[in-house]
Structures are given as structure tokens and as C-alpha cells.
Chain A
Amino acid sequence: MKKLLSIFAVVAFAFSAHAGTLDDVKNRGFLKCGVTTGLAGFAAPDDSGEWAGLDADMCRAVAVAVFGDRSKVEFITTTGKSRFPTLASGEVDMLARNTTWTISRDVNLGFEFVGVNFYDGQGFMVPSALGVSSATELDGATVCIQTGTTTELNLADFFRLNGISYEALPIETNDEGKENLFAGRCDVYTTDASGLSSTRAAASNPDKWVVLPEIISKEPLGPLVRHGDHQWGDVVRWSLNAMIIAEELGITSENVDAQTSSNVPEVLRLLGVEGNYGEMLELSNDWAYQIIKQIGNYSESYEANVGPDTPLEIARGLNALWTQGGILYAPPFR
């Protein structure tokens, strides 16, 4: 029996043992990236059916770091509820899915948040015809809320704290939320302020909707990977950091070729002209160069997807660099 048990232990081990996610991805030939079911500006198919958005760019950046090719990524849609099991089971290699970094997700769920690609906060959106100017006036309102999110918990806390009541209408996806809100099944939609801007932009008449001034929570949204695979975590973390550092250093997709002959040491290190940082990550030495060349720096991705010139019209705010009044800050590249 003892022998049998040990055979089983070995088989069980063989089933679960991974060679490491980076090797898995390289062997497979493409990256599997978990994204939302469709949130304009973050991850949603564009007119030509290509996934576009800040989170989609995050996935592409990692694909570029590993393969040097922005098309080597398969986008897998996940709901607020399915995202964690999908990542835990190995169905996807990483999530870039508007996911808030919290202690319980980081520690208890067995994941590793590798950084923040968007600083957000939870807000409320109501029809302007309702004449509400503050969230504290929402006593008795019906609130559409995506289940399984941190916003669901913040909502309960906010109303409890203010001693007002509400009726929750639990929904699964952002589209369901839109449908119920536009039909008047709920008075208020609450989610991250960026998500509200995205929903508002998708309305037939955006002026009919107002986002209330209260921001009731901190929602640092970032990419995450499975806990314990530090090598893979480093690849995703530094793919994000490379985009932020590129903005700091003023490197864009347009001037990146000229910058390879720059005289700034950090630029040369980032672009792989000096040092062997790519090797340390088990990537090619021009991985960061390729990210900037093919995707752009953080600012370029932001402006193209969610910035003031897009339908979402979200100002940089907290997401500006630390040198420009925001809190976006990446560790030094050395």
C-alpha cells in the first residue's frame, strides 16, 4: 500500500508540476491573457475585431517581451467571477483585467499582483434627470452592481457608514449593467470610475448621465499572475515598468530608434544597448526596445485608449507620472 501511495504521489506531482510559466508560454508559442468580457478603453474588440485598450496593451507588451511579436497573444475573456479560477487553474498565464489589488487576493487567493497599470476609485453614475448631485442622496435607490468585485463590498460599507439604505441588483457583466441601467431597472450604476466613463461613452446620449463626485474607494488595478512563479512574475512586472520608465525617459515608439544612440545610461540599459538585463529575465536583450517600438510607452497607451481625446475622456490625474503630480512610479532600471 505504501508503494502504491508513493506512486500516486509521483503521478499527482507529475500532473501538477509546471516547468515554469515562462517556459510553458515559450513552448506554446503564444501568451494566454485573461481580459474583461468587453470594457471600452481597457479591453474590448475594436472595429476590426482586434482587442484594444490599456489592459489589452499590457497583454501585448508581455507577448512582445517574450516573443518580440505583438500578435502572439490569445485573449481569453473572463467575468468578475470566473477570472480567479481561470488564472488559478492555469487556463491563462496572466490576468490584465481591471482587477483591484487587495490583501486577500494577494495573500489568500494565491496570486501575485505585479504592479498597477491604472489607479482608479469607485464612483456612481445616475441619469441626470434624477437630479441627484451627491451619492449621499441615494437613500432607497436600486443599485446595479457587478458581483464578486471589491466594489460590491465597498458599496455595502458606504451605505452602512452613511446610514442609508439601498437595494442591490446583482449583475454579472458590464453589458448586463448597462442594459439594466438604461432600462431603468436600477437607478444607479456603481463600479470603478473608469468603468463608468466607459459605460457613459457607450450610451446613446452620454449627456443624459452624470458621474457623481464621490469616489468611495481606492482601486489600484493591475496585472496579476499565480503566486510562486517569481520568474514569470518578474517578466510581467518589468514589462509594465518598462513602459512607465520609457515615459519617464521620454522614449516613444517614434523616437525609440534614435534613442539607441542616446548618451543617457538608463536609456541604453532599458533598450538593451548596455548590460544584459534581458538575459536575467531569460528574454532577448532588446525586449524593452520591442515593447516601446511595437506598443509604445505608458503615456502613448493611455492617450490612445482612455485619455482626454478618447470617448472615455479620463484625465491623467493620479495616473500621471510622479514627476507630474501623479503617483505613477517605477523602480529604477539598473
Chain B
Amino acid sequence: MRSNLGFFSDEKFRSIFFQTLVVGLFALGLFFVISTTSYNLEKRNIATGWSFLQNPAGFDISFSPFLEFKSTDTHLKVYFVGVLNTLLVSITGCIAATILGFILGIVRLSSNWLLSRLVYIYVEFSRNVPLLLQIILWYSILIQLPRVKQSLQVLDVFYISNRGLYSPRPIFESGFSYVLIAILLALISSFLINRWAKKRQDKTGQQFPVFSSSIGLIFIVPLILFFILGSPLSFEHPELKGFNFKGGLVIRPEFIAMFLALSIYTAAFISEIVRAGIMSVSKGQREASAAIGLKQTWIMRLIIIPQALRVIVPPLTSQYLNLTKNSSLGIAVGYADLVHGFGGISLNQTGQAIECMAIVMATYLSISLTISFFMNIYNRSIQFKEK
């Protein structure tokens, strides 16, 4: 009996055996799925292959702020338009959710009972109502805004209707590039000033007003240059012509609904993460820094937040990933993101579901892995460094 199980009593062999078994079963399962799928596709005469990417799409996409899209363009371009729209709502959503989440997380901990309760209600409401409902709610509110002919006019230049928010479009004239160069130079020099000031403080203990000097460099210098060059910037104002406003910049209600819902929903989670991060810093740290006479804002900025970030960043990364993946719900309100445009319309017009879905999945995977990659680098940079 024992001799039969001789191999199995060896722990190393057992571990290798089971690992091989699992990998083997997985490979077999994968092979089974792929072979069954291709067999069935062939049997049902469903076209396969990638050549459809080069075929003209035949339909129009109106929401394409970065690439001009015509119905004669290819499905491949539909894909790029979709990726850009997905990135647009994800990146703006992540930024807004982070800012809102940090503010709310800190306010939640404030000693002001009313503020803290209000944030509590906000958090519990928005993270316990399905995101899809929130998106549809925002959209339903937005399309109840006045019709385009009765647009609300704000400050004489902005128009709000259920077709979106119209604003003047800046037109850069010759000479404006110098202003951009000035801003760039100012950014670089304030970065250098910051490094120099840190070094000086480490050496001599003297401080330098980095913040105010940077603001001065970045805003005031280019502004002066702007006026010296004779204001090389004009605006194209939207005008009501026929059915719609012509000209100007427009932000569509589909985008606004997605942006609001995604950032408000995710901010609720981020605020809880921030609160947990701040609470993870032991009370003694705050008391000790108060004892050596640091200002309240400095305690937060120099002592609490840097330590809290170690706890905040890893779950924050997964919130960014969630927000990006949740942006695929754009289809509910007709936001032309990757899933709606390429994974929806192209898929349906060409019928090549497996190819389209494979591309869409691979794209989300790459976006997510890229976010993780950069957040991991950031995470490493804020960890405790043993000196």
C-alpha cells in the first residue's frame, strides 16, 4: 500500500504533479473552447477573419472630438474613435473622482458634525445605488433641460440645452506658440526651483516660497507675454443656425452624464479609502507634530498624508481600473465609447462578434495594465525607504 504511494509521499513531487495537472487541465479546457468555437462558426457559415477592419464602416459617429470621422472611414477608425472616447471619459473621470474623493474623505473626518454626516449620506447613497441607474438618472435629468431653440444663456457666451453645453472655441493665432513655450519654460524652471529649494532647506534649514514663486512664473510671465504679443487668441462663438448651434465647442449630455455618474460614484469609494488611509496613521504622529509646533495644514501635508498614501494608493489603483471598465456602460446613454462604437455597431454591422469582442477585451486589458503599471511605480516611490 505504502509502496504504491511512494511518489506521493514526496512533497516536492506532489506539488509539481498537481501544478502540472492544473496547467494541463486549463490548456485542455482552452483548446476545447477554441476548437468547439471554430468548429461551430464554420458549421454555421459565420464569416471569420480580420479583413473586415479595412472595410468602410458605412455609419456615422457624431461624438468624435479628436478624430474627424466620416461614414466612408474604416471599422479600424471606428475602433480608434472608440478608444479615444473611452480614454477621454476615463481620464477626466479619474481626475475628478480623485479630487472629489480626497476632499470628501477629509471632510468626513472633520469635527463638523453636519458636514461629516452629509458626506456620510452621500457616500452611502452613491455607492449603494447601481452605477447604471445613476448614469440613466443623470441622462434623464440632462435631456429634460430646455430645447435647443430655448437654450439658457449664461454670461452671454455659454448656451445650455438638452443638446449639450456650447461654449466659445479658442482660436490660436500666430504668436500664441510663444506663450505656450513660455508656459513650458516656466513649468521646467519651477520644477528646478523646487529641487534647489529642497536642497537648500536640507542644508541650511532656510525655506523658499516655492509655491507662490511657481504660480508667478507659470501664470504671470506667460500672461504678460500674451499681452505684449497683442493677445494672439480669438474665440469662435456658437450661433443658432437652422436645427442646431454651429461653431464653438460643445460638450454633449451623453458625455456629461457619463462623467458625472462615473466620478461621483467612484469618488464615494475613494473617499472611504482616503478616510481609512488617514485613520491608519497613528494618533501619536499627529500629537507629536503638534507638540513640536507645526501648523495644522503642515501636519496634514507633511506628516499625515505621506503616511496615509502608502495605504491609499493600492486600493486607489483598483478604483481607477473599475472606473475605466465601468465606462463601458456608456452604451446605456449612447455615449460612443469603445464598447458602443466598435464592440456594438461595428460588431453588429459586420456580424464578426468574436473578433470584435477579442479586440475590445484586449484593449481594456492593455488600458488596465498600463494604469496598474504607472500606479505601481508611483506606489513604490511613496513607500517607506529605509535609510
Residues of A participating in the B interface, judged by any CB pair closer than 8 Å? 8-9, 11-13, 15-16, 80-81, 84-85, 88, 104-105, 108-110, 130, 138-142, 147-148, 152-153, 155-157, 159-160, 166-172, 176, 179-180, 183-185, 187, 226-228
The answer to whether B65 has its CB under 8 Å from any CB of chain A is no
Q: Is the CB of A147 within 8 A of B345?
A: yes
Segment touching A, from B94-102, B170-178, B211-219, B240-248: B240-248
Which A-chain residue is minimally distant from B242 (CB atoms)? A140
The reply on B304 being an interface residue by CB < 8 A is: no
In contact, A84 and B351 (Cβ under 8 angstroms): yes
Q: Pick from B61, B345, B347, B348 the residue with the most CB of A within 10 Å.
A: B348
Q: Report whether B162 and A184 are in contact in the complex, using a CB–CB cutoff of 8 Å.
A: yes
The complex places the Cα of A154 from the Cα of B71 at a distance, in Å, of 11
A182 closest partner in B (C-beta): B143
A12 and B34 CA atoms in complex are apart in Å by 10
Measured CA separation A148–B58 after assembly (Å): 11
Chain A residues within 8 Å of B31, by CB: 8
**Could you say which of A108, A138, A172 contacts B351, with CB atoms under 8 Å apart?**
A108
A127 and chain B: residue at smallest CB distance: B147
Contact with B36, one of A15, A156, A160, A166 (Cβ below 8 angstroms): A15
- The digit string for B13-36, where 1 denotes a CB below 8 A from any CB of A, is 000000000000000000110011
Interface residue B340 (Cβ < 8 Å from any Cβ of A): yes
Question: Do A172 and B147 touch across chains, with their CB atoms under 8 A apart?
Answer: no
Point out the residues of chain A lying under 8 angstroms from B244, CB to CB: 140-142, 167
- Which residues of B line the A interface, CB within 8 A? 31-32, 35-36, 39-40, 43-47, 58-62, 71-72, 143-144, 147-148, 162-163, 241-244, 246, 253, 331, 334, 336, 340, 344-345, 347-349, 351, 353
A/B pair count, beta carbons within 8 Å: 116
Chain B residues whose CB sits within 8 angstroms of the CB of A8 once the complex forms: 31-32, 35
Q: A170-B340, A171-B334, A226-B44 are in contact. Are A16 and B253 (CB under 8 A)?
A: no
A84 interface neighbour in B59, B242, B348, Cβ under 8 Å = B348
**Can you report 23 residue pairs joining A to B where beta carbons are below 8 Å apart?**
A11-B32, A88-B44, A109-B47, A139-B243, A141-B243, A142-B243, A147-B345, A148-B345, A152-B59, A155-B59, A156-B58, A156-B60, A159-B60, A168-B59, A170-B345, A172-B331, A180-B143, A183-B144, A183-B162, A185-B143, A185-B163, A187-B243, A227-B45
Residue among B60, B163, B349 making CB contact with A166, cutoff 8 Å? B60
Nearest first, the 8 closest Cβ-Cβ pairs linking A and B are A148-B348, A156-B71, A184-B147, A110-B45, A141-B243, A167-B62, A12-B36, A109-B351
Are B36 and A140 interface neighbours, CB within 8 A?
no
Interface centre among A104, A148, A180 (most CB of B within 10 A): A148
Q: Determine the chain B residues whose CB is within 8 A of the CB of A110 once the complex forms.
A: 44-47
Most buried by B among A12, A142, A156, A185: A185
| Shortest Cβ gap from B152 to chain A (Å) | 14
Contacts of A84 in B (CB 8 A): 348, 351
Please determine whether B59 and A153 come into contact, CB atoms closer than 8 angstroms.
yes
- A170 near B32 (CB under 8 angstroms)? no
* Pairwise interchain contact B148-A184, C-beta atoms closer than 8 A: yes
Q: How far is the CA of A12 from the CA of B29 in the complex (A)?
A: 12
B71 touches A109 (CB 8 A): no
Query: With contacts A81-B347, A160-B71, A227-B44 known, what are 20 further pairs, Cβ within 8 A?
Result: A8-B31, A8-B32, A16-B39, A84-B348, A85-B353, A105-B351, A142-B163, A142-B244, A147-B344, A148-B344, A153-B349, A156-B59, A159-B60, A160-B72, A167-B244, A168-B61, A168-B62, A179-B143, A183-B162, A228-B45
Contacts of A80 in B (CB 8 A): 348
How far apart are A36's CB and chain B's nearest CB, in angstroms? 15
Once bound together, how far apart are the Cα atoms of A16 and B35, in whole Å?
Answer: 11
- Closest chain B residue to A16 by CB distance? B40
A228 to chain B, nearest CB (A): 7
Alpha-carbon gap, A108 to B86, bound state (A): 30
Chain A residue contacts of B62, Cβ below 8 A: 167-169
Q: Give chain B residues whose Cβ lies under 8 Å from the Cβ of A140.
A: 241-244, 246
**A residues less than 8 Å from B71 (CB atoms):** 156-157, 160
B37 → chain A, closest Cβ, in Å?
9
Residues of B contacting A85 in the complex (Cβ-Cβ under 8 angstroms): 353
Min C-beta distance of B163 to chain A, whole Å: 7
Residues of A close to B348: CB separation below 8 A = 80-81, 84, 147-148
Q: How far apart are the CA atoms of A130 and B147 in the complex, in Å?
A: 13
Which residue on chain A has the smallest CB distance to residue B52? A108
Taking each of A84, A147, A226, which has the highest tally of chain B beta carbons within 10 Å of its own beta carbon?
Answer: A147
Min Cβ gap B350→A in Å is 8
Residues in B neighbouring A155, C-beta threshold 8 A: 59-60
Provide the bound-state CA to CA distance between A138 and B243, in Å: 8
Which listed residue, A108, A139, A170, touches B334 by the CB 8 Å rule?
A170
Shortest beta-carbon distance, A213 to chain B, in Å? 19
Chain B residues near A180 (CB-CB < 8 A): 143
Distance in angstroms between the alpha carbons of A139 and B345 in the assembled complex: 24
Report A-chain residues with C-beta under 8 Å of the C-beta of B40. 16
Q: Are A12 and B32 in contact (CB under 8 A)?
A: yes
**Distance in angstroms between the alpha carbons of A109 and B47 in the assembled complex:** 7
B340 partner residues in chain A, CB cutoff 8 A: 147, 170
Residues of B within 8 A of A187 (CB): 243
